Amino acid sequence: DAGVIQSPRHEVTEMGQEVTLRCKPISGHNSLFWYRQTMMRGLELLIYFNNNVPIDDSGMPEDRFSAKMPNASFSTLKIQPSEPRDSAVYFCASRPDRMQNTEAFFGQGTRLTVV
């Protein structure tokens, strides 16, 4: 397996534009996480899906952020409209939960810059 695949790797956009980040989890993994990493706030859990269903979205900053997982092999994180303070590295991670004590596998991240 190629691991967790995120796209794009880098995104530069103007304030007010819509941004869509994509994630392909590892096949067979049934948990998926979106994290945001900034110097100020560290790694924040934004949303957690299990079997394609959002379980906890309490970390989503505000209504401008939305995430979907239409099937087991694809998830998106959308920001509309984007603001400069959304600039961060966004990571997607997946984990198999058939056994309780398993590690999470991370993608390489999407570095988002909103100007």
Partner 1 sequence: SQQGEEDPQALSIQEGENATMNCSYKTSINNLQWYRQNSGRGLVHLILIRSNEREKHSGRLRVTLDTSKKSSSLLITASRAADTASYFCATHLPMNTGNQFYFGTGTSLTVIP
Binding site for partner 1 (CB under 8 A): 4, 31, 33, 35, 41-45, 48, 50, 55-56, 59, 91, 93, 95, 97, 100-109
Nearer to partner 1 (CB atom), residue 66 or residue 108: 108
**Both tokens of residue 52?**
């394609």
CA distance 62 to 28: 31
CA distance 6 to 77: 11
| Minimum distance from residue 59 beta carbon to partner 1 (Å) | 7
| Minimum distance from residue 82 beta carbon to partner 1 (Å) | 22
What is the DSSP-derived secondary structure letter of residue 7? E
* Number of other CB atoms surrounding residue 113 within 10 Å: 13
Nearer to partner 1 (CB atom), residue 12 or residue 15: 12
Nearer to partner 1 (CB atom), residue 92 or residue 114: 92
Nearer to partner 1 (CB atom), residue 17 or residue 51: 51
| Minimum distance from residue 5 beta carbon to partner 1 (Å) | 11
Nearest to 61 by CA among 11, 40, 104: 40
